[in-house]
Chains A and B, each alone.
Chain A
Amino acid sequence: DAGVIQSPRHEVTEMGQEVTLRCKPISGHDYLFWYRQTMMRGLELLIYFNNNVPIDDSGMPEDRFSAKMPNASFSTLKIQPSEPRDSAVYFCASSRQGTGELFFGEGSRLTVL
């Protein structure tokens, strides 16, 4: 298995620009999670999907953040417009029903200037 694949690994953008982060979960996994990690707040769950349907988006900080999962093999997290306080590492993780194990990607490091 290739593992959870995230892109881009690094993104530097200017305030106000749109940012799209991408995630390919492990094949056969039916849960997908988006987390954000900062020094101040640690790892925070933003949203998770089950069978491509958003289940809990209570962690999404503002309307500027949106996430989609158009099919079982792809998800996006979009920030529009981006702000400096959005700078963080964004992790995608996937899991299979009936197991207790989440598999994380290597993360996308976002810097908003």
Chain B
Amino acid sequence: DAKTTQPNSMESNEEEPVHLPCNHSTISGTDYIHWYRQLPSQGPEYVIHGLTSNVNNRMASLAIAEDRKSSTLILHRATLRDAAVYYCILRVGISSGSARQLTFGSGTQLTVLP
């Protein structure tokens, strides 16, 4: 499985944008880039995913480098509730787009300062 590399921790001020980086230099052409987050004492929660193009949803934006060897999760205005561990994960994709298992790394602990 292709691996991802993320900083162990990051800090942000409340109401400011946050850019969470992820390196995945061994990504293959069919790997999807997924982001999940885990709030304290809760199960992981889906944030966003993409393949090649940048993606936006109500929670965040995902910017994918042109060579796909890195990506950035963007929280446009961090709130205290965004404090969590953020996981960047590669998922093997097949033509049917079936859900396959996700291998979680250690993620980035985001601290949001008031």
Contact = CB atoms under 8 A, between A and B. Distances in A.
Contacts of B103: 45
Nearest to A59: B101
Q: Which of A48, A91, A100 has the most CB of B within 10 A?
A: A100
B43 A106 contact: yes
Contacts of A97: 96-99
A105 B41 CA distance: 11
Interface residues of A, number: 25
Contacts of A95: 99
Contacts of B34: 100
A31 B99 contact: yes
Nearest to B47: A101
Chain B at the A interface: SS class: loop
Nearest to A106: B43
A103 interface: yes
Given A31-B99, A98-B96, A99-B97, A42 B104 contact: yes
Interface of A: 4, 31, 33, 35, 42-45, 48, 56, 91, 93, 95-107
Given A43-B44, A44-B104, 13 more contacts: A33-B101, A56-B101, A91-B44, A97-B96, A97-B98, A97-B99, A98-B96, A99-B99, A100-B32, A100-B49, A101-B46, A101-B99, A103-B46
Interface of B: 32, 34, 36, 42-46, 49, 87, 91, 96-99, 101-107
